[in-house]
Chains A and B, each alone.
Chain A
Amino acid sequence: MTVIQPSAVDLAIAASLILFDAAISAFLGLRLQGQLLWAALRMVVQLLLVGLVLRWVFALASPAATLAVVVLMIAAAAREVAMRPAHGLRGWPGMWLATASVGLSSIATVLLALFTVLQPTPWHDPRYAIPLIGIVLGNVLNSASLGLDTFYGGVMNARAAIEAQLVLGATRNEALAPLVRDSIRKGMIPIINQMSAAGIITLPGIMTGQILAGMDPMDAVRYQILLMFLLAGGSGISATGAVYLAARSITDERHRLRLERLVHRK
């Protein structure tokens, strides 16, 4: 089977669909045209830039350059986790919490894959390390922000009930346990859904891409299964880590709620 490379003209034809969407928006008065065109333009520019950067980093094959890209990606994901939920920790603690949970979970799962499963030479080959960390980050970011959003929102709503337990002598762990469990569960639901739906309701993006790029379907499936396991592991670690760190951060050593450390956005 030969791989069909989409040319610039092919992409332009596909782009006409964006114009079609914009026409619908204008016709129905959805007022989405501006956002839609801007998002499409951003997507094209961002992906072209990433393509250039990746080509350059792959050619360099330097561990330092790979590490720099990985650190940048983790920082960007951590910033999303720290900033996206409606409530967050004030200042640097929020950023540290996000970096720790997202960074540790993604690095741990990717290292596991590189050292035991894929074993590229060298192990830090950017062609493997960077795409892997990218897809894992996308998932752990989602899990950590869902977990944190549930946790902070729950603490604000259940403040009286949590303090009612504390005043009767409960420890902070006892008083927060149900909410911690709920929040971690929320963070892990997307990956569970993704695994149950894989292949039946959706054809996962990576697998589709590899099949389109000419890979044998069974080989593509094997890669997808591997990735799903990595994503599930990363999600579990990041949701658990983020929610436990958050529970420590909004209480103190005298077992009381310190909600003044939270900031409400929007």
Chain B
Amino acid sequence: MATTSAAAPPRLQVEALHSTLAGPFSFSLDAGECLAISGPSGSGKSLLLRMICELDPCSGTAALDGVPRASMSAPAWRAKVVYQPAEAAWWAPTAAAHFKPEQMARVQALLPQLHLSPALLETDIQRLSTGERQRMALVRSLACAPRVLLLDEPTAALDPEATAAVEQLLRTELAAGLALILVTHSEAQAQMLGRRRMRMQDRRLQAMQESAL
């Protein structure tokens, strides 16, 4: 587990982030840490993730390893703070066409960990099952080598076996230093992955008990 000295800035620092729709939100997250957020549908969980990756206009500040978001271009920020919506969209006919050549080695390494056959890369994306697409979306997000990953219900369409594979992969990535914000409806998943837990209610975040790892 990554240990941070008192002087090192947190991996992700969010300060008074708000829009007319939700917030303000303030919290920080260290490398290797997972923040699990639960809460009813429509409470603002996805809005929070969209604001962190700056897909929706918002006020307040955010910083990555102490570097303010405003000092980076938005694409540079989003390449490091990757948001994966609950229903990932695809813009090319096959999964393979969504990756850059330099990402392929990483993709090939990730596929078996999620029980995905490499043949699926060349299959028409519409012919993949919902669960296969959801896991492929996680491959797509991780292939960008993000520092912070914002996951919106990444196992909603998965059977228990595939869910376990995703959770195992996320544990590995956390151990390697990824910071994760996980929106989940699954109490078991939140407990397993989230050292810190928060609850979204009426577009406000409330801290829940901190459980030791």
When the two chains form their complex, are residues A256 and B144 in contact, meaning their CB atoms are under 8 A apart? no
Name the interface residues of B71-127: CB closer than 8 Å to any CB of A. 73-76, 78-80, 82-85, 87-91
Given contact pairs A169-B75, A169-B78, A164 touches B56 in the complex (Cβ within 8 A): no
When the two chains form their complex, are residues B75 and A256 in contact, meaning their CB atoms are under 8 A apart? no
When the two chains form their complex, are residues B91 and A158 in contact, meaning their CB atoms are under 8 A apart? yes
Q: How far is the CA of A160 from the CA of B137 in the complex (A)?
A: 13
Q: How far is the CA of A171 from the CA of B78 in the complex (A)?
A: 10
Name the contact of A254 in the complex, choosing from B74, B83, B85, B90 (C-beta under 8 A). B74
The minimal Cβ–Cβ distance linking A212 to chain B, given in whole angstroms, is 52
When the two chains form their complex, are residues B91 and A164 in contact, meaning their CB atoms are under 8 A apart? yes
The minimal Cβ–Cβ distance linking A162 to chain B, given in whole angstroms, is 8
A-B contact count (CB 8 A): 58
Name the contact of A256 in the complex, choosing from B74, B85, B88 (C-beta under 8 A). B74
* Chain B residue with Cβ nearest A253: B74
Given contact pairs A158-B91, A161-B90, A167 touches B74 in the complex (Cβ within 8 A): no
When the two chains form their complex, are residues B82 and A168 in contact, meaning their CB atoms are under 8 A apart? yes
When the two chains form their complex, are residues A168 and B56 in contact, meaning their CB atoms are under 8 A apart? no
Main secondary structure of the interface of B (DSSP, over half): loop
When the two chains form their complex, are residues A167 and B83 in contact, meaning their CB atoms are under 8 A apart? yes
Given contact pairs A161-B89, A164-B88, A255 touches B74 in the complex (Cβ within 8 A): yes
What residues on A are CB-neighbors of B88 within 8 Å? 164
What residues on A are CB-neighbors of B12 within 8 Å? none
What residues on A are CB-neighbors of B141 within 8 Å? 168
Name the contact of B90 in the complex, choosing from A164, A178, A253, A256 (C-beta under 8 A). A164
The minimal Cβ–Cβ distance linking A95 to chain B, given in whole angstroms, is 24
When the two chains form their complex, are residues A168 and B91 in contact, meaning their CB atoms are under 8 A apart? no
Interface size on A, residues (CB 8 A): 20
When the two chains form their complex, are residues B84 and A167 in contact, meaning their CB atoms are under 8 A apart? yes
Q: How far is the CA of A169 from the CA of B82 in the complex (A)?
A: 8
When the two chains form their complex, are residues A169 and B76 in contact, meaning their CB atoms are under 8 A apart? yes
When the two chains form their complex, are residues A168 and B79 in contact, meaning their CB atoms are under 8 A apart? yes
Interface size on B, residues (CB 8 A): 24
Q: How far is the CA of A166 from the CA of B73 in the complex (A)?
A: 12
Q: Residue A163 at the B interface, CB < 8 A?
A: yes
What residues on A are CB-neighbors of B55 within 8 Å? 163, 166-167, 256
Q: Mark A138-166, 1 if CB is under 8 A from B, else 0.
A: 00000000000000000000101111111
When the two chains form their complex, are residues A256 and B54 in contact, meaning their CB atoms are under 8 A apart? yes
Name the contact of A169 in the complex, choosing from B57, B90, B144 (C-beta under 8 A). B144
Q: Residue A170 at the B interface, CB < 8 A?
A: yes
What residues on B are CB-neighbors of A163 within 8 Å? 55, 85, 89
What residues on A are CB-neighbors of B54 within 8 Å? 254, 256
Q: Residue B203 at the A interface, CB < 8 A?
A: no
Q: How far is the CA of A170 from the CA of B80 in the complex (A)?
A: 12
What residues on A are CB-neighbors of B144 within 8 Å? 168-169
Name the contact of B89 in the complex, choosing from A164, A171, A253, A255 (C-beta under 8 A). A164
What residues on A are CB-neighbors of B148 within 8 Å? none
Name the contact of A166 in the complex, choosing from B78, B87, B90 (C-beta under 8 A). B78
Q: How far is the CA of A252 from the CA of B56 in the complex (A)?
A: 11
Q: With A162-B91, A163-B55 given, can you name 14 additional A-B contacts, CB distance below 8 Å?
A: A158-B91, A160-B87, A163-B89, A164-B90, A167-B84, A168-B79, A168-B82, A168-B141, A169-B76, A169-B78, A254-B54, A254-B74, A255-B73, A255-B78
Q: List 28 A-B contacts (CB under 8 A).
A: A158-B91, A160-B85, A160-B87, A161-B89, A161-B90, A161-B91, A162-B91, A164-B88, A164-B89, A164-B90, A164-B91, A167-B78, A167-B83, A168-B82, A168-B140, A168-B144, A169-B75, A169-B79, A169-B80, A170-B75, A253-B74, A254-B57, A254-B74, A255-B75, A255-B78, A256-B55, A256-B57, A258-B57
Q: Which residues of B contact A (CB under 8 A)?
A: 53-57, 73-76, 78-80, 82-85, 87-91, 140-141, 144
In order of increasing CB-CB distance, the 9 nearest A-B pairs are A169-B79, A160-B89, A161-B91, A164-B89, A254-B74, A255-B74, A161-B89, A167-B83, A169-B78
